[in-house]
């Protein structure tokens, strides 16, 4: 093997080692980003559950306020109760399927 061929081979080996190093760095970065993404997804699911809970509490509060009126807006309270009954009926129909 000539000196020039040896230098070419050494250069090629150095580049391959460098590419392997870059690949390893990229793999580690990918793993870290995947972990961060999983953490964010988990936090997003938790926040969505909390939002759903707060919305349900808000609807309950609205219903309670509408029902607790002292006859001031009886029609609205009746509509609210009718809406709630329809929602319960829909849920029961879904359960019976």
Question: What is the sign, positive or negative, of the torsion defined by CA atoms of 61, 65, 67, 73?
Answer: negative
pTM (global) more than 0.85: no
CB 76 within 8 A of CB 66: yes
* pLDDT exceeds 90 at position 94: no
Q: Is 70 helix (H, G, I), strand (E, B) or coil?
A: coil
Per-residue pLDDT tens over the stretch 5-47: 899 999 999 999 999 999 999 999 999 999 999 999 999 999 9
How many C-alpha atoms does 35 have within 13 Å on its Cβ side? 6
Q: Where are the domains of the chain?
A: 3-96
Q: What percent of the chain has pLDDT over 90?
A: 47
Average pLDDT of the chain to the nearest whole number: 86
């Amino acid at each position: 093997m000539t000196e020039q061929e040896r230098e070419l081979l050494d250069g090629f080996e150095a580049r391959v080692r460098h590419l392997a190093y870059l690949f390893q760095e990229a793999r580690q970065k990918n793993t870290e980003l995947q972990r961060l993404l999983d953490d964010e997804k988990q936090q997003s699911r938790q926040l969505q559950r909390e939002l759903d809970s707060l919305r349900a509490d808000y609807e309950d509060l609205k219903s309670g306020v509408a029902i607790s009126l002292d006859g001031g807006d009886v029609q609205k309270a009746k509509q609210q109760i009718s809406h709630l009954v329809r929602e319960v009926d829909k849920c029961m129909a879904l359960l019976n399927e």
